[in-house]
């Protein structure tokens, strides 16, 4: 098994005729993902990569029975693209776009919830079920099928950790880059529970970073609900207070959201915390 995506995923790319959308659509298709179409307003009736292009997501879903969408739409229009996908009946929406205004994401996320759909992102690398399906921008060659679930706020750290896992013979069941913005779709607790319930996942790697209290909340959730081994890494351990580091959500303020506090909460919950990404495989073995 895997969570969220597998061989039955039927994917459309919103923004497939753009540079990034077309480039990554080809990568996902080459990996074996079932790319069934794309959207680009005004270009309906054309084709890209051997699949049809539609003017709207509604048209795409009606013609292809797509159940998943990935969004490569510029930030001013991305929230509308999320809501269009949810309204058309897409069940899993993955938004790669960064720089979307937070209030726009709040509105889009609430709409997605109303439509009982699922959102990953925005500002995320997407997700991979190795050997089955790639929906995102992750470098496919570093992944290996196995039993370690990976959840991460950071895209590039996801790649580094997966590289170390694969190099040490630890394949992955599903890897989810959930994004580092202040407001995103699925977050640690929901994804932890999905991996707890997934028969293929034997252990979980959780990659967090400074800012906010998501890791502290995850620690409390792990202590109460998660029975599988969890190993964590917290980025930003040397960040000075009040200094934003990378993501909009990665900022320490008023003494909260520090790496020290997050590490302490996780260790108190029984989670092994790596000081460097390269330590993660040894902590899992």
Of residues 24, 164, 225, 247, which has the active-site annotation?
A: 247
Please state, in angstroms and as integers, the Cα–Cα distance from residue 151 to each residue in 79, 124, 184, 221, following that order.
23, 12, 13, 15
Please state, in angstroms and as integers, the Cα–Cα distance from residue 201 to each residue in 91, 131, 184, 193, following that order.
23, 15, 24, 11
Give yes or no: 247 in active site. yes
Q: Before 14, cis peptide (omega within 30)?
A: no
What residues act catalytically? 247
């Amino acid at each position: 098994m895997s969570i969220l995506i597998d061989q039955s995923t039927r994917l459309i790319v919103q923004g497939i005729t753009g540079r990034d959308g077309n480039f990554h659509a080809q990568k996902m298709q080459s990996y074996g993902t079932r790319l069934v179409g794309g959207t680009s307003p005004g270009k309906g009736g054309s084709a890209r990569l051997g699949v049809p292009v539609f003017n709207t997501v509604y048209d795409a879903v009606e013609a292809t029975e797509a159940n998943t969408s990935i969004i490569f739409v510029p930030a001013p229009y991305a929230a509308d693209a999320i809501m269009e996908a949810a309204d058309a009946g897409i069940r899993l929406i993955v938004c790669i776009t960064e720089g979307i205004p937070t209030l726009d994401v709040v509105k889009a996320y609430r709409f997605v919830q109303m439509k009982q759909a699922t959102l990953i992102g925005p500002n995320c690398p997407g997700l991979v079920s190795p050997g089955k399906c790639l929906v995102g921008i992750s470098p496919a060659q570093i992944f290996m099928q196995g039993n370690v679930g990976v959840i991460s706020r950071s895209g590039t750290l996801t790649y580094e950790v997966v590289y170390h896992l694969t190099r040490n013979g630890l394949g992955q069941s599903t890897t989810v880059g959930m994004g580092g913005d202040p407001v995103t779709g699925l977050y640690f607790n929901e994804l932890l529970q999905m991996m707890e319930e997934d028969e293929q996942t034997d252990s979980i790697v959780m990659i967090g970073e400074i800012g906010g209290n998501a890791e502290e909340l995850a620690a409390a959730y792990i202590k109460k609900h998660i029975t599988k081994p969890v190993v964590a890494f917290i980025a930003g351990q040397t960040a000075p207070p009040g200094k934003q580091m990378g993501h909009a959500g990665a900022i320490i303020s008023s003494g909260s959201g520090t790496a020290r506090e997050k590490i302490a909460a996780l260790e108190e919950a029984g989670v092994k915390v790596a000081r460097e990404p390269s330590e993660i495989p040894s902590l899992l073995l």
